[in-house]
Chain A
């Protein structure tokens, strides 16, 4: 077992170049998966790397560093397009989890129930992946490939989430459905971002999670909403059938497929109403 806790990014990338390692951020997904008192295997702990933590506004994009925790995010002052992500932050497990768990870890863990994914999908999030050789960017939708599967190569570190400013517009909302108040895995969750001009929807971004192996954007429903006047009548267009064209929901102990489709549509109606300010 080898353990590395570098302070410089280059060092970290060099360690990754040297062979497969488990990347350890907040550990809130890694530790629950083991029974032992210590994490086995070769570890790269990224917690001490300078400059990896924090949320920065650039000219073209916002950047959420890989060390940024859910609590960091919840406390940051951010535009209204981030509302969904902030709401998601406060719904992740508990305060204890939010204090250590990272947003990037949530994405890399690639759980179908990851609350961060829908809220980032509607912001057209890109992941910045760095290896000793190069840096590449992947859209979030192309990064998560399946249940616990990502496009990350073993020599790469996800260093940041990049949010292009053109997508940081309008207002967003997040709705999570679970069987209890705190510490709960989502039965379904949705995020909606809506920009409004002259009482009409000028831009719509919708995503649902926990209903399929990978959270999905609802592109045809989005186009359908654009141009529509905001108001209660919007709800008619957001129906189970529209959801079903994008995802074939799973059935498990937390809900049947039919229920999930129905619930996702209802959550979307509420999220859209909140984001459009008509709730």
Chain B
């Protein structure tokens, strides 16, 4: 037979008939034809499991199943897991915080449901086995395992904190229900009828000049293709970038492609035509140019220059200098030195970039996944030559970002199509496009020397790092500035000289990835700290404790840390675990000998929250309508990290009304003020502080109106606001008020910008107002013969200042650790070689060990209710602690990451030959 066939199936208990191409992917049929978008697509290759559905009760990847094969069979999707009310499994996911961004959640739930059918009370091992085929990039899996194993229980009543008691409670995510029942709308899940489908043709070369051929003829031969656009069609300035003075990236390349994956041409067409479009014969004449992929090569005199105004391919150099480092190094008792190389890291969020654009009157509306709606708006407006207020960004739920969804991707592309054709346009990046075209973690080549006196106190550190920033600036300047500020770790370093350069190559674009270069630098610093502890004959934890910053200490940038320095408490909290772990490892090594060696490692982190010595204000607005609705304009984009919940908890306690009174309005740029970008671990602190100020301001307005004291207690019942002060209570009937333009009768809008100072030429100043701290300990076993590493347990102590929501905080830590595990042991992005989730390995549910989290509260005087940031901190200590544990186990020093089995084995052999 040719063409479409009749497919009859039992879909979630309903007999369903549909006509479709027989070999169409089931996932595509479900999502794009039947509009059951609960089933997610992360790779179209079986690698992520987001598309898991049950076929006659057995889990399968819907992206690999031809629709013809489901004829006469039953298919269950996430939408079929519950009938109206949530199942116990779904409740357990909410209760345990097992869904963060939620993009993996449908696949996890469906795979778990199949297990629970035969094994209602599974063990952790059984659950891991059943879920091994579903990747999650946010949670670190531990809470997913707990939820599945605990799902036999009837859900206990969820926490409903009273007014003033929201902070500190294990509140379920406020945006959680749609994440577990499949109704949440991500970038690829909603589009206007009649949308054109947009596809980009991209460079297959690292560096090549091109000329477009006879496009009209190619177009003419293809019915259903509506329009084709190139750089010449971009109405505005074809340069964008997250840091405006460095904006250098074209939305569509002009005559030269500077990296593999760069977009050249857009094709927009009707869905049917686009589904079978073959672009291999699209007329582009390529002239391949010489390229560089390594900073060392890019620095060479003869290397091709990527940007005329950046000699030597150096984008920028950041530096911090304090004291006389050379002299101190020369006169110190002990010096450790070394070098570390790290590769490109891919964010590997399970949701590839996706969205839709359309025109509403003369406003261009773009609905897409993002971490930074206002930045999207401004960059897109400039590219399309529109005033910013004629671009409206509506963020969808975002299926993970970790830094890469700060930069615009498809926004100007679909915007251009909508603007030029007048038709709505939608685009979904393929996994390969997502990996090739968007930003990466900077590969780093770093060297350092660190010295101590004979008392085991750090005297000096010298650090240099070259960071491969790829062809365009993106966040390269931020990395170059952040690294020198943080490369000392949270340790007193009186003499200090650190430089970091961002260097252009034709590799992938490097940008922001959880930590802005600090995770790379910390690996080297913490490795050398182990050497110094050994040289001083000191226990490794004790050595760190001795040098850890204390309140009143002065940092490498000359900033006095007046209060809230929690690193000491973190290390102290690990101390008993450390003693126990060292004993366990020694006993195990004594017993076993031979193939497996146990080891223990430790590392710390500190991380400044918010932009480095630059303004980054957040504004939060809220108000009461005369119907009694309490509306919080929550513009701090929630990419899974929990800002919807945390910001509301802070605001609720500042205002003095319970969480249950709040209604949230998202970060739509047409309605909600700018709460800045979700990056730099700033939302809990900076937007949280704005939410605290706004909550207090609204409270003050109400109290002023009621003419009562600060001790008054508020309550909201329908449209009646009660204000009780002492014995007296006053009921304010909101209905009787005249609402303002926003519909509010009481309102508040407050902004907060962290008090920082610019860094001088020596990098001296107060770059951050708040720092967060943490330390982690890793226990592992190395298979000495094969070089494989089995993680046994990670104990993490993090100072949050004030824990707003313990479940969400643990989730951030566990998720950060999982990414740190990937950085240490398996992740290596190679342009042109690992552009899929088959070859680019991220940890699966079987790769993350038990994690014990210890939350420390050393309040920060500046943060809201004492709170600090956490999002990036949690990833930083993991990789160095793992590498230090490998060294402890085998004496093998890994200096080229990731520590793949062959590298570990080589290092073991090298270490043996030395002794």
Residues of chain A whose beta carbon lies under 8 Å from any beta carbon of chain B = 1-5, 24, 26-28, 31-32, 35-40, 43, 45, 47, 71, 93-97, 99-100, 177, 179-185, 187, 253-256, 259-260, 262-263, 266-267
Neighbour of B61 across the interface among A96, A177, A262, CB < 8 A = A96
| C-alpha gap A114/B391 in the complex (Å) | 51
Min Cβ gap A168→B in Å is 28
B11 to chain A, nearest CB (A): 18
Query: Are A96 and B23 in contact, CB atoms less than 8 angstroms apart?
Result: no
A255, B902: Cβ atoms closer than 8 Å: yes
Query: Can you list 22 residue pairs at the A/B interface with Cβ under 8 Å?
Result: A3-B2, A5-B22, A31-B44, A32-B64, A38-B66, A45-B22, A94-B134, A95-B130, A96-B111, A99-B59, A100-B60, A177-B901, A179-B826, A180-B843, A181-B845, A183-B135, A185-B838, A253-B828, A253-B830, A253-B833, A263-B786, A266-B785
Beta-carbon nearest neighbor of A260 in chain B: B902
A27 to chain B, nearest CB (A): 5
Q: Is the CB of B46 within 8 A of A43?
A: no
Chain B 144-167: CB-based contact to A (< 8 A → 1; otherwise 0)? 000000000000000000000000
Most buried by A among B2, B49, B825, B828: B49
Question: Is A259 in contact with B906, judged by CB distance below 8 angstroms?
Answer: yes
A38 touches B1 (CB 8 A): no
By DSSP majority rule, is chain B's interface helix, strand, loop, or mixed?
A: loop
Given contacts A2-B2, A36-B276, A95-B129, contact A262 B46 (CB under 8 A): no
B664 sits at the interface (CB 8 A): no
Return the chain A residue nearest B45 by Cβ: A32
Partner of B46, one of A39, A93, A185, A254: A93
Distance in Å: Cβ of A43 to nearest Cβ of chain B: 6
| Alpha-carbon distance A253/B276, docked complex (angstroms) | 33
Q: Which of B64, B847, B900 contacts A255 (CB 8 A)?
A: B900
Q: Is the CB of B22 within 8 A of A43?
A: yes
Taking CB atoms, residues of chain B closer than 8 Å to A267 are 786
B394 to chain A minimum Cβ distance, whole angstroms, is: 26
Asked whether, in the complex, the Cβ of A27 is within 8 Å of the Cβ of B129, the reply is no
Number of interface residues of B (CB under 8 A): 62
Complex: A262 Cα to B58 Cα, angstroms: 39
Which residues of B lie under 8 Å from residue A24 when comparing CB positions?
Answer: 23, 66
How many Å from the CB of A104 to the closest CB on chain B? 16
Closest CB-CB distance, B119 to chain A, in whole Å? Answer: 13
- Do the beta carbons of B828 and A99 come within 8 Å of each other? no
Asked whether, in the complex, the Cβ of A31 is within 8 Å of the Cβ of B64, the reply is: yes
Chain B residue at minimum C-beta to C-beta distance from A34: B44
B241 interface residue per 8 A CB criterion? no
Q: Is the CB of A3 within 8 A of B22?
A: yes
**In angstroms, how far is the closest chain B Cβ from the Cβ of A6?**
11
Inter-subunit contact B838/A96 (CB<8 Å): no
B793: interface (CB < 8 Å): no
The contact string, 1 if C-beta is below 8 Å from chain A, for chain B 721-746, is: 00000000000000000000000000
7 nearest CB pairs, A to B: A94-B133, A181-B846, A182-B132, A39-B23, A32-B45, A259-B902, A255-B902
> How far is A185 from B2 in the complex, measured between Cα atoms in Å?
36
Q: Which residue of A lies closest to B826 (CB)?
A: A179
Complex CA gap A141/B833 in Å reads: 30
Q: How far is the CB of B821 from chain A (nearest CB, A)?
A: 9
> Chain A contacts of B886 at CB under 8 A?
none
The verdict on A177 contacting B130 (CB below 8 Å), with A27-B65, A183-B844 known, is no
Rounded to whole Å, the gap between the CB of B384 and the closest CB of chain A is 28
Known: A93-B46, A182-B844, A185-B838. Contact between A254 and B132, CB under 8 A? Answer: no
B201: Cβ under 8 A from any A Cβ: no
Contact B58 A71 (CB under 8 A): yes
Flag if B22 contacts A95 (CB, 8 Å): no
Contact present for A180 and B841 (CB under 8 Å): yes
- Residue B534 is within 8 A (CB to CB) of chain A in the complex: no
Does B905 have its Cβ within 8 Å of any Cβ on chain A?
Answer: yes
- A182 vs B49: C-alpha distance when bound (angstroms): 12
Q: Are A95 and B68 in contact (CB under 8 A)?
A: no
Asked if B536 is at the interface (CB within 8 A of a chain A CB), the reply is no
Please give me the residue from chain B that is nearest to A4 by CB atom: B1
Residues of B within 8 A of A2 (CB): 1-2
- Chain B contacts for A99, CB-based, 8 A: 55, 58-60
A35→B45 CA distance, assembly (Å):
9
A170 CB → nearest B CB, Å:
25
**Residue ID in chain A nearest B132 by CB atoms:** A182
Is there a chain A Cβ closer than 8 Å to B660's Cβ? no
Given contacts A96-B49, A179-B901, contact A1 B830 (CB under 8 A): no
- Known contacts A1-B21, A45-B22, A94-B134; can you find 7 more A-B pairs with CB under 8 A? A27-B64, A28-B64, A96-B61, A99-B59, A100-B64, A255-B902, A262-B905
A31: contacting residue among B2, B25, B134, CB under 8 A: B25
CA distance A181 to B900 in the complex (A): 13
Using Cβ atoms and an 8 Å threshold, which residues of chain B touch A183? 47, 132-133, 135, 844
CB distance from B788 to the nearest CB of A (A): 7
In the complex, the answer to whether A3 meets B844 with C-beta atoms within 8 Å is no
Instruction: Produce 1/0 per residue, B544-560, CB < 8 A to A.
Output: 00000000000000000
Contacting B111 at CB < 8 Å: which of A40, A95, A266?
Answer: A95
Q: How far is the CA of A28 from the CA of B912 in the complex (A)?
A: 43
A1 proximity list for chain B (CB < 8 A): 2-3, 21
How would residues 44 to 73 of chain B score, 1 for a CB under 8 Å from any chain A CB and 0 otherwise? 111101001001001111011110110000
Let me know if B589 is at the binding interface, CB within 8 A. Answer: no
**Looking at the complex, which one of A45, A95, A179, A256 makes contact with B66 (CB distance below 8 Å)?**
A45
Beta-carbon nearest neighbor of B845 in chain A: A182
Closest Cβ neighbor of A252 among chain B residues:
B833
The answer, yes or no, to whether B430 is at the interface (CB within 8 Å) is yes
Check if B24 is an interface residue, CB within 8 A of chain A: yes
